Amino acid sequence: MAFNPEPDCTALIVVDVQNDFCHEDGALAKLGKSVGKTRSILPNIETLISYAKMVSVPVLFVVTHHDPVTDSPAWTSRQMYNKNQIICLTGSWGAESYLLDRKDADYMVIKNRYSGFYGTNLDLILRSLGRNRLLICGFTTNVCVESTVRDANSLDYFAAVVSDCAAASTEQEHISGLYNIEKYFGYLTSLTDVKHFWNI
């Protein structure tokens, strides 16, 4: 089955476009991760959001927040965790949007783990809107984007990652994430494909 994002049953999910994931002074960069690719695809994400607005597809910004209330011992034991540099600390500059205007979001969803669905009301919002097809973009391809697609698949959504509107710290991680998504959990599409499908 080909993925067809009909506007009346599709939602656009924008994952983790936040300073700590994208800015050169953000937490990810300070942990030694490259943010060049994430920063470079922002124009594509902005264009995708504008396309969604043109055809009345709802736009949901899914953003990460972390603080002592949500960061369990299992979470803080991860290799990348740094108690002196908490990624997307609630209320911090790092948790704010990177370049995107949050006014462009029709809905905001706060998550505390990788997946946009885990412990959030994302599923409730989408079902209330009658949207069972998802276009997903953002950061990072192999972690939060892929985790969101995995859960979307388990919840019986048709989910597609807009491949040139997603990125990871390395090209290898990006490609491996896309491979897993297309092979097992969802679909891949592109900004050009979306533009053509929506006749923009």
Active site positions, annotated: 16, 111, 144
Contacts of 8 (CB under 8 A, 6+ apart): none
Q: Write phi, then psi, for 130 (nearest 5 degrees).
A: 70, 35
- Is the bond preceding residue 189 a cis peptide, omega within 30 degrees? no
Q: Are 75 and 81 in contact (CB under 8 A)?
A: yes
Distance (Å, whole) CA 162 – CA 92: 29
Q: What does residue 187 show for φ and ψ, rounded to 5 degrees? A: -130, 165
Q: Which tokens sit at 36?
A: 């060049």
**Closest Cα partner for 141 from 43, 36, 40, 15?**
15
